[in-house]
Structure 1
Amino acid sequence: MVIPVEDSTDPRIADYVRLRDVDLRKSLEGGRGLFLAEGEKVIRRAIAAGHRVRSMLMTAKWLDRFADLIDGDGDGDGDGVTVYLVSDEVMEGITGFQVHRGALASMERRELPSVAEVLRGARHVVVLEDLVDHTNVGAIFRCAAALGVDAIVLSPRCADPLYRRSVKVSMGSVFSVPYARLKDWHDGLAELRDHGFRLLALTPAESAVPIEEALTGERTALLLGSEGDGLSSRWLAEADQGVRIPMSREVDSLNVAAAAAIACYLLTAAAR
């Protein structure tokens, strides 16, 4: 069903309002159990991962690209998707920016698996402590998917992988890498150790060993810390070993997403 909408304040499109207001979006999306997917590739990956479409928002030029979803034979639930059709001006008034990827979809969240569930059968996992930048979280998910990491575990305060910016930067990889969230930051790493994982803390500290020297082929969890301060002193102390990426030219560290890419490659390559 295609429904024309001419007013950016129309309550039927409340799922899409003020996408740049992070605090509002966290409250709205959490309260309604939804998230937003942007662009055809990401929307279709979300559907393939089992997320149900609540509605879509797009301009007329994109209707043909999503005809299978609108007609009801492309979303897996047998029902056609409701599309709110708007002009470019109304779209920008709703979202606060120009949408260049064709469409937005409001999707239903699925219940997250437990940490135990995502660790079952995994050999290489990444654990994120308090990363707050959604771009970095999305980039790390994309690296993990590309480089063969089996799962990602998030600390309780880590940014939401299903926030629109994370999903967009990951190019939908947040739907292909299993992830779970720790319930307890203070003692949460014990659960990984109980499942047989060796904990490696990535840090620029000179006392840490080069990461290549620490890879033994065991089940390994790579700990990555927040953008500014890195890993907390507690998690550093809880780790089995501190590891670093050797640097040159007086550069002491990399952006956490860049460091994750290098470390994930080395981690999974060592097991090939």
Structure 2
Amino acid sequence: MAEPAASAGPDGREVRLARAEDLADPRLAPYTTLTDAALRRRVDAEHGVFLAESSQVVRRALAAGHTPRSFLLGDRYRESFADVLAAHPDVPLFTGPDEVLTSLTGFHLHRGALAAMDRPAPRPVTDVLAGARRVLIAEDLVDHTNLGAVVRSAVALGWDALLLTPQAADPLYRRAIRVSMGTVFRLPWARLEGPVAEAVPALREAGFAVAALEVTERAVGLDSPELEPLRSADRLALVLGQEGPGVRTETLEHTDADVVISMPDGVDSLNVAAAAAVALWELRAR
């Protein structure tokens, strides 16, 4: 017997997805599977949306003031999500069994909920820096998982803002948001217009010392007494480089200091997210 077609609830708000053919609804476009992160970023920007995944992350996005366009919800999570749905009675709701939703998104819904949210307007760098004492700069950090982990550590350890180069990953990409556990909604961020080296003069003019987490000939261990002036700096910007290549040479030519994590012989390095957590703790505002 054929599966029934998609059906709407009494108020026309809820659409139940029962088969693959139901996924042609144009309102589902933001959820359509895109496995290439760069393509996903372009499409999200064109649609002016981002995806929040998991009920906890959706709740944090809403609490931060983001506006939902629609909800996509697995059947099992309807009851636990009832308060969110009641608070947004005019937002379209798409529901269905896990296998149908997975065929739409291309991945298993983490904790059963997705929301398409309006993407906020880009913030000027000057606005993000205003009042900030500790600023993290992600230079060409392209891995969304690492970026999400870095953001989570930055928020947990009291850092105030995030700057990203044009090539860096999107903080509002679904996976970056999920790995950050939604803490990205608490961290002001902005994209630089060009390389970090070009932004250093403006940072210094605003009173920031600029350091890089990178192995160089002049690098000082994070546990060294020599770093006390950096630890106690009123305003500090810390540059993290791309996985593998590290901080750009031209950036290192403009930093006030380079810092490293002291390690025993035979240990090359830490993952950038793990290394960032250590440095963010050591260089936090005191």
- Tell me the equivalent position of 2:282: 266
**Highest CA radius of gyration, 1 or 2?**
2
- Tell me the equivalent position of 1:82: 92
Any conservation in 2 of the 1:140–1:260 contact (CA below 8 Å)? Answer: yes
Task: Verify: 1:38 aligned to 2:50, yes or no.
Answer: no
Equivalent-residue separation in structure 2 for 1:181 and 1:190 (angstroms): 16
Task: Verify: 1:239 aligned to 2:250, yes or no.
Answer: no
Amino acid at match of 2:184: V
- TM-score of the superposition, structure 1-length normalised? 0.92
- Distance change in 2, residues 1:121/1:23 (3 Å): closer
Query: Between Structure 1 and Structure 2, how many residues are aligned?
Result: 265
- Distance change in 2, residues 1:206/1:252 (3 Å): farther
Any conservation in 1 of the 2:17–2:96 contact (CA below 8 Å)? Answer: yes
SS at match of 1:104: strand
Any conservation in 1 of the 2:75–2:98 contact (CA below 8 Å)? Answer: no
Select 1:179's aligned residue among 167, 185, 189: 189
- Tell me the equivalent position of 2:70: 55
- Tell me the equivalent position of 1:210: 221
Select 1:2's aligned residue among 5, 14, 23: 14
Select 1:26's aligned residue among 41, 59, 72: 41
Any conservation in 2 of the 1:204–1:253 contact (CA below 8 Å)? Answer: no
Amino acid at match of 1:132: V
| CA deviation string 1:124-170 (max 9, x = no partner) | 11111001100011000000011111111111111100000100000
Tell me the percent identity: 47
- Tell me the equivalent position of 2:151: 141
Equivalent-residue separation in structure 2 for 1:233 and 1:267 (angstroms): 22
Select 2:212's aligned residue among 201, 204, 224: 201
Any conservation in 2 of the 1:53–1:108 contact (CA below 8 Å)? Answer: yes
SS at match of 2:116: strand
Select 1:160's aligned residue among 144, 155, 170: 170
Gaps of 5+ in 1: none
Any conservation in 1 of the 2:53–2:110 contact (CA below 8 Å)? Answer: no
| Pairs within 5 Å for 1:212-227 | 212=223, 213-216=226-229, 217-218=232-233, 219-227=235-243
Consecutive aligned runs of 4 or more in structure 1 exceeding 6 Å deviation: none
- Distance change in 2, residues 1:23/1:181 (3 Å): closer
Equivalent-residue separation in structure 2 for 1:128 and 1:24 (angstroms): 20
SS at match of 1:18: coil
Task: Verify: 1:189 aligned to 2:200, yes or no.
Answer: yes
Equivalent-residue separation in structure 1 for 2:157 and 2:38 (angstroms): 32
Amino acid at match of 2:242: S
Query: What is the CA-CA distance between 1:96 and the residue it aligns to?
Result: 1.3
Amino acid at match of 1:121: G
Equivalent-residue separation in structure 2 for 1:94 and 1:23 (angstroms): 19
Amino acid at match of 1:144: A
SS at match of 1:15: helix
Select 2:265's aligned residue among 240, 249, 254: 249
Amino acid at match of 1:53: P
Select 2:245's aligned residue among 222, 229, 238: 229
- Tell me the equivalent position of 2:4: none
Query: What is the CA-CA distance between 1:252 and the residue it aligns to?
Result: 2.5
Amino acid at match of 2:194: D
Query: What is the CA-CA distance between 1:207 and the residue it aligns to?
Result: 2.6
Query: What is the CA-CA distance between 1:59 and the residue it aligns to?
Result: 1.9
Any conservation in 1 of the 2:157–2:280 contact (CA below 8 Å)? Answer: yes
RMSD, matched Cα: 1.5
